[in-house]
Amino acid sequence: MAEFNLTYRGTVYPWQCDHMGHMNVMWYVGKFDEASWQILATLGITAARMRADGFGMVAVEQQVEYKLELRAGDLITIRSFVLEIGEKSVHLFHEMRNQETGEVAALTRVTGVCIDADARRARALPSDIRRRHDTVAVATEMLCA
């Protein structure tokens, strides 16, 4: 069982709403992107680490399910977890909720790939990052058993 982490807390601003009166899809994706960087940081994938070690992360696939309209003034939270870590990839899951009602507003799954910052080609994730995820996954499974 995966462990959710709070990765975003914010609000919907009027300028983020479209002609239909609800938050435009580009803002859902933007808020999920901010949450992605928070969950990646729990694995040790931070901007400072990427600069120091010469690697980066790029999104290669994202699937979004829109469940509920969000309107100006709505408070939102995103909770996230790591679905899987491969040799070169990280698969994330995010759940966005209307904070006041608790209703799920949107879900997304994101696949990110580790790249060499200079060559701009896929490379293996640092081994300590994969180990950190494995350690957290085992500990979570033991706690939930």
Report yes or no: 100 and 81 within 8 Å, Cβ to Cβ: no
For residues 44-66, average pLDDT: 97
Has residue 143 got a pLDDT over 60?
A: no
Has residue 46 got a pLDDT over 90?
A: yes
Report yes or no: 37 and 56 within 8 Å, Cβ to Cβ: no
- Amino acid letter, residue 6: L
Has residue 3 got a pLDDT over 90?
A: no
Tokens representing residue 1 in the block: 């069982």
Q: Dump pLDDT digits (tens) for 98-110.
A: 999 999 999 999 9
Q: pTM, whole model, 2 decimals? A: 0.88
pLDDT of 119 = 96
For residues 80-95, average pLDDT: 96
Has residue 37 got a pLDDT over 50?
A: yes
The domain limits of the chain are 5-144
Mean pLDDT of the chain: 91
Torsion on CA atoms 132, 93, 143, 145, rounded to nearest 10: -120
The CATH number assigned to the domain with range 5-144 reads 3.10.129.10
Closest of 63, 71, 60, 54 to residue 32, by C-alpha = 63
Residue 25 to residue 136: CA distance in whole angstroms: 32
